[in-house]
Structure 1
Amino acid sequence: MAVLELLYVHKKRICKQHVPGEGPCRCYANTDNISSHPSLSPSPPSALPIDVVRNLHDVEIYEAETANFEIELSRPLPVFKWFKKGQELAATDDISIEQDERTYKLELRNCVMSDMGTITFEAGPLKPTAMLIVKALPVDIIKGLEDVEVFEMETASFQIELNRQIKDFRWFKKGELLEKGDSVEYSLEENTYSLHLRDCKISDMGTVRFEAGPVKPTATLIVKALPIVVRRELQDVTLYEHETAEFEIELGRPIEEYKWFLKNKLMEASDRIILETDGAKYKVTIKDCLLRDMGTVRFEAGPLKPTATLIVRALPVEIVRELDDQEVFETETAGFDIELNRSVAEYRWYKKGELLEANDDVKMEQEGPTYKLFLRNCMLQDIGNVKFETGNLKSSAILMVKALPAEIRRNLQDVEIFEGETATFEIEMARPIEGFKWFRKGLEIQPEDDITFEQEGLLIYRVILKNCLQSHTGNVKFITGQLQSTASLIVKAIPVEVIRDLEDQEVWEKETASFEVELSQPVSDFHWVQKKEELHPSARVEFQTDENTQRLVIHDCRVEDIGPIKFNTETLQLSAILMVKGITLPTST
C-alpha cells in the first residue's frame, strides 16, 4: 500500500487522502465535497524538503548551571546528532538528548568553563550551530574564617565555606605557604575548606590566610603557653676528677627554650658538654670534670630556675707505668713516656739534671694521663739520666746513645739545568761529621755570592750553585775524611725562541729590501741565505744587529733577487720571500 501525501491549499484547510490503488479520490475542503473518479497509477514516494521551523539560539549561563538547546524541523527525522566543539555527544549523567516528534532537545548539566564553545545539530543536510557561553561563577564566602585560640601542643582548626568549589586553593601561616606534613593537614569537602595545625607552638602564633581565586580572608592563631611544672627535680652529683657528671630534670610538658648554667656561666654544646632532650626530659652531661668545675648547676625555663650542686673531689696522683731506659744510635730519636692515674696540670722533664724546654730537638706531649718526651738527633754527649716530676712524684730512666759508623746514607744526584738557573746538590750522612769539602770540576769551591753551603739538622749537607753557565758543566764532588760522593752538573743553553718572525717583502727594482727577525735572546752564530747561497756583507748586502733583533738589508734590488730569504741558527730555520717588481721604461718614438 503506497501512501501519497497531497498538499492542496483550498481556503484554510490542508487535505490528506490515502489512495488505495486505482479508484475514486475524494478531497474535502471546508464544507465542499469534491469527488471524481480519475484513474490513478501508483508511483514511488519522494522525500519532502526539510526546513528549520525554529532554530538554535546561543545560551549564556554560569558555571555549574544547565544549558538547554532546542531546534524544531518541518518534519521528523529518525537520524540526528549533537556535537560540542566538534565532538559528537552521547547521553550521560550530565548530558540529556531528547526528540519530541519534530522538536529536538539537548540538555547540558553542571557546565564548566572548558565546555564553552560551538554546539552543532546535524540531521540530513542541516547543520545549524549556536554558542554555549559559560561564565565564571562569582566566588562568595558563605562562612568566613574565625580566629582560633589554643594551648601549646593542641591542634588548631580553621574552616571556610564558599558558594562554589575552587580546586586551586592555598593556606598560609605568617605569610609562608603551608605544605602537608606531620603537623599540617588540609582538605576540601564540597565547598568547605579545612586546615588543621597540630602540636601548636608559641612561635606559630600569627595570621592564617586562605587563598582561592580572588578570595583571601584571614584569621588569627593565638597559642597560649601551658604552665610549666617540675615532675622530677635536679639532684646533686659528687665524683672524682676526670669523671663524668650527669644532671637531669623532667618537666610537665616539653618546652622550646631552656638553658643550663655552671657557676652562673652559660653551658653550650661542645666535645666536653653534651645537651640532650627527650620529650619533657632535659639532661646535661659534663665530661672530664675538674676541680675548678665544682659549683652550682642551674636549669632555666621560663620562670623555673631549679639548681643542684656539682662536687668534684681530687684524686691522689699515682704512677701507673714508670719510665723505661732507652737506647738509640746517634741522630736517632729517643722516646720516653710515663702514665699516671689521672691528668695533672703541672709537670717537668729533666735531662742530666737540667730542666728541658720544648724546641726543635725536644718535644713534649700529653695524651690524657700519659706524658711523653721525644729527644731528636741524639748525640753521644746526651747519654745520661732522664727524669719526670709532678708534685712529689718522680720517675727516672737512662738514655744510652751508641756511635754510628761514618758512612754515606744518601749520595749526590746528577743535576741538569738551563743557563742562569740554580743547581742544588745534597748528601745525607749516617752520622754527624766535623770536616768536609766541596769541589767543582776538580777545583775546591768556597762560599761566595753565587755559592752557598747549607746544613739541615746534623746529617744533611748541601751546596747551592746560582746563575750557572754552560762552562760550569762538569763534576761536583763532596769529600769528608775517606768518604766521597760525585755527581754531574749539566748546564744546557737556553733555547732560542722567535718573538717576531720574518715577513715577505715586495719592492721595485733599485729599491732596498729589509728582512728583520726578533729572538728571545741574542745569538752570535747565524747565517743569512738567499736562494741556497749564504750571504756575506757587501756593497749591496748589509747585516745589522740590535740587541735581540737581526736585520738583513739588500740595496739596489734586482729582478734576479726574487726568491726565498732564510735566517738559520743551530736550532732555528726561518724564511720569507723577496719579490722584486721590474720597472718598465717608456718606449722612445
Structure 2
Amino acid sequence: MGRSGGYGDGPVAIRQRLDPAKRPRCGGCAREWWCRPQTGSSCSGTAGVRALTIAAATGADRGTYRCETLHDWTQAKLSVEPRRVTLRKALVDVDAVEQEAATFLVELSHPDVEGQWIKDGVRVKACGSRRVSVAGRVHGLTLSPLTLDDTGTIAFQSDGIRCSARLTVREPPVTFLKPLQDLRVPETTVVTLECELSRPNAPARWYKNDWELKPGQNVRIYTLGKKRVVQLGRCGLEESGIYTCDVGDSKTSAKLEVYEREIVITKPLEDVEVRENGNAVFVCEVSHEGVKSEWWKNGEKVNSNNCVKIRQEGNKHFLLICGVRDEDAGQIRFTAKDAECTANLHVEELPIKIVKPLRDKTALEKHRVILECTVSKPRAQVRWLRGGQELEAGDKYQISSEDCYRKLVIHGITLQDEDTYTCDAFEDRSSARVLVEEQAILVVRDLQDVEVTAPGEARLECELSVQVMRAPQWSLDGRLLARGPGVRMETAGTVQRLVLTDTSPAMSGLVKFTAGKARSSAQLTVKAE
C-alpha cells in the first residue's frame, strides 16, 4: 500500500492485493484485519483484493490505515483535502412587476453544499414570502408576492464563493378600468369627464385636441381615489373637441360635442315713457337660462357703467338706465343669438333752469371779466345780453359752453363797460352787475415851475404811469380851467400838457393837475413887459 489522498465529503477506497502464497486460508477464504476502522466505512474483497471504503470522508478521517493478515501486513497514509466548490452558473438581475414572483438560481460545482441567501446585507430566512430551495447543485430563492420595498441586492454565499444580482420591482402598468365616454350636450351645460384607473397613485394629464389642459376659471381637474376627473363649467361651442386622459402607460379619449340651443323670446320688450332725470327699466324674457345677450340703443351697443346697469336673473334680462337724459330717447334693442326684439324709450323733457346764477363782478380797468353760470341741461341754448341788447362773440366778447357751464368773457374792460349783463335761457335767466375800477395812476414826472413874460406862452406838463381814459383836471389858484381861447389841454400818450397863451401878470399863481388820485402842482410866474 502507498499514500492515498481524497477530497472532503467524498468516498475514499483503499485497496490491497494479497500474495497467494502468504494468504492463509480459512474455509476457502482469506482472513484480514483493517486497522482504524471508522463509522461510515465498509470493507469488501474479491479475488485476492481487499478494500476499505470510507463514505463522506472529512478532515477527521486523515491518518494511517493498515491491512493485516495472519502472516503479513501493509499500511498507507490517507490525506483529506477540502473540496474546491466553484460557481457554474451565477445569479442574474431580475426585473419584475409588483405582486408577481421573482426567483434567483445559482448552480455550484458540487451537490450537498450549504449556502446562505442575503438581501441588502441581511440574511434571508425562509417564510411565507421567502422560499429557499436546493436541488442537487442548484440553490434557489423565490420571493412572492413582490412589493416595491423588495427592490434591492440579492446575494448567495457558500464555501468562499459569493455572487449577487439586482432585484428591481416595478409598479404594474396602469390600465383603465373605466374609460372616457363620448358626450353630446347643449351649450352652457357643466360637463364632467371621468375615467377610472387600475391604481390610485398614478399621475395623469388631460389634453384637448393635443393641447394640455391646465386648471383655470372654467376648468377644474381633480382626483377621487382611482378616478380622474376634469370638469368644464358652462360649456360654449368652443369647448367641443377630443379630450384625452394620458397616464403614460395608456390613454383614453372621448369626443365632447357642444351644440347650440335654439333661443326663443317668451316675453318681448315694452315701450317705456319716463320723465327726464328718471329711471327707465326694460325687461325681456327668453326660453333658456344662462343665455348670453346684448343690448343696443339707437344702433350702438350698450355697456354697463355708472348710469347703465345690465343684469340677468334666470331667463329674465334687465336693462336699467339711471338719470335718463333727453338724448337717451330712441330705440332699445335686445339680442340673444338669432332672437331679438325692440321697444322705444320716450323721454319727457324738463324745463331748462339756471341752477347756479351769475354773480356781480368788480374788475380793474383794462383787465378781463368772466361771467359764468350753470344750466340744468348740457344741450341748453342761451344768449347773453347787455342792458337788453344781445351780445355777439368777437374780439371784445368771448362766449363758450362746456357741458352745463355757460361763460362770457369781456376783454380789455373799460369804464364804459359798466352795466348789467344777463344770461337768457329762454325759460329762465340770470343777471349780474359789472363794475369797473380805474387803474392806479401815478405821476412819474411832476410839473415844473414856469416863469414867462406877458403876453408870452406858458407850458406846463407832467407824465403819468398809464394812459387815462377820463380827462384830467387843471386849476389855477383853485379855479378849474376849461378849454377855450387862451387855454389848451393836450394829451400825448402818458404826457399831459397845459398851454396858456396871451398871459398877463394877473395869471400868476399855483397850477394844479389832478387825474384820479394822482396830483402834481407848480408855480406859474408871469412878469410884466
1:355 pairs with one of 391, 395, 415: 391
**Does the CA-based 8 Å contact 2:175-2:249 persist in structure 1?**
no
* Local SS of the residue matching 1:371: strand
Instruction: Tell me how far apart the structure 2 counterparts of residues 375 and 175 of structure 1 sit (CA, whole Å).
Output: 74
**Does the CA-based 8 Å contact 1:56-1:69 persist in structure 2?**
no
* Local SS of the residue matching 1:185: strand
1:20-39 superposed matches below 5 A = 25-29=38-42
Higher relative contact order (CA 8 A, sep 6+): 2
Instruction: Tell me how far apart the structure 1 counterparts of residues 145 and 410 of structure 2 sit (CA, whole Å).
Output: 99
The residue number in structure 1 matching 2:28 is none
Distance 1:144 1:432, change over 3 A: farther
Distance 1:6 1:300, change over 3 A: closer
Instruction: Tell me how far apart the structure 2 counterparts of residues 91 and 401 of structure 1 sit (CA, whole Å).
Output: 119
Distance 1:6 1:318, change over 3 A: closer
* Local SS of the residue matching 2:422: strand
Distance 1:234 1:170, change over 3 A: same
The residue number in structure 1 matching 2:92 is 58
Instruction: Tell me how far apart the structure 2 counterparts of residues 58 and 224 of structure 1 sit (CA, whole Å).
Output: 60
The residue number in structure 1 matching 2:213 is 178
Instruction: Tell me how far apart the structure 2 counterparts of residues 82 and 47 of structure 1 sit (CA, whole Å).
Output: 32
Return the letter of the residue paired with 2:114: P
Instruction: Tell me how far apart the structure 1 counterparts of residues 465 and 419 of structure 2 sit (CA, whole Å).
Output: 20
1:246 aligns with 2:281: yes
**Does the CA-based 8 Å contact 2:96-2:169 persist in structure 1?**
yes
Q: Deviation at 1:109?
A: 5.2
Distance 1:239 1:193, change over 3 A: closer
Instruction: Tell me how far apart the structure 1 counterparts of residues 327 and 256 of structure 2 sit (CA, whole Å).
Output: 48
1:209 aligns with 2:222: no
* Local SS of the residue matching 1:391: coil
1:81 aligns with 2:94: no
Instruction: Tell me how far apart the structure 1 counterparts of residues 61 and 441 of structure 2 sit (CA, whole Å).
Output: 147
The residue number in structure 2 matching 1:310 is 345
Instruction: Tell me how far apart the structure 1 counterparts of residues 122 and 395 of structure 2 sit (CA, whole Å).
Output: 98
Q: Deviation at 1:387?
A: 1.6
The residue number in structure 1 matching 2:324 is 289
1:343-422 superposed matches below 5 A = 343-351=378-386, 353-357=389-393, 362=398, 364-368=400-404, 370-375=405-410, 378-406=413-441
- 1:460-516: CA deviation from partner (whole Å, max 9, x where unpaired): xxxxxxxxxxxxxxxxxxxxxx9xxxxxxxxxxxxxxxxxxxxxxxxxxxxxxxxxx
Instruction: Tell me how far apart the structure 2 counterparts of residues 232 and 301 of structure 1 sit (CA, whole Å).
Output: 13
Instruction: Tell me how far apart the structure 2 counterparts of residues 219 and 291 of structure 1 sit (CA, whole Å).
Output: 57
* Local SS of the residue matching 1:238: strand
Structure 2: state its 5+ residue gaps: 1-6, 15-35, 46-50, 55-59, 63-79, 443-463, 469-517, 519-529
1:431-446 superposed matches below 5 A = 433=466
Distance 1:173 1:393, change over 3 A: same
* Local SS of the residue matching 2:340: coil
Instruction: Tell me how far apart the structure 1 counterparts of residues 313 and 124 of structure 2 sit (CA, whole Å).
Output: 63
* Local SS of the residue matching 2:238: helix
Q: Deviation at 1:134?
A: 7.4
Q: Deviation at 1:400?
A: 1.0
What percentage of residue pairs aligned between the two structures are identical?
A: 22
Distance 1:156 1:118, change over 3 A: same
Normalised by the size of structure 2, how large is the TM-score? 0.56
Kindly name which structure, 1 or 2, has the bigger radius of gyration based on alpha carbons.
2
Distance 1:100 1:207, change over 3 A: closer
Return the letter of the residue paired with 1:179: K
Distance 1:167 1:50, change over 3 A: farther
Instruction: Tell me how far apart the structure 2 counterparts of residues 348 and 359 of structure 1 sit (CA, whole Å).
Output: 17
**Does the CA-based 8 Å contact 1:358-1:364 persist in structure 2?**
no
| Root mean square deviation, CA, Å | 5.0
- 1:154-212: CA deviation from partner (whole Å, max 9, x where unpaired): 3434345677889343212345422235642343755x644343433333222223334
**Does the CA-based 8 Å contact 1:81-1:123 persist in structure 2?**
no
Instruction: Tell me how far apart the structure 1 counterparts of residues 337 and 124 of structure 2 sit (CA, whole Å).
Output: 69
Q: Deviation at 1:240?
A: 1.7
Q: Number of aligned pairs? A: 384
**Does the CA-based 8 Å contact 2:352-2:427 persist in structure 1?**
no
The residue number in structure 1 matching 2:27 is none
* Local SS of the residue matching 1:247: strand
Instruction: Tell me how far apart the structure 2 counterparts of residues 172 and 404 of structure 1 sit (CA, whole Å).
Output: 85
1:187 aligns with 2:214: no
**Does the CA-based 8 Å contact 1:244-1:286 persist in structure 2?**
yes
* Residue range with higher mean Cα deviation, 58-67 or 322-331: 58-67
Instruction: Tell me how far apart the structure 2 counterparts of residues 10 and 123 of structure 1 sit (CA, whole Å).
Output: 24
1:311-350 superposed matches below 5 A = 311-330=346-365, 333-350=368-385
Distance 1:272 1:167, change over 3 A: same
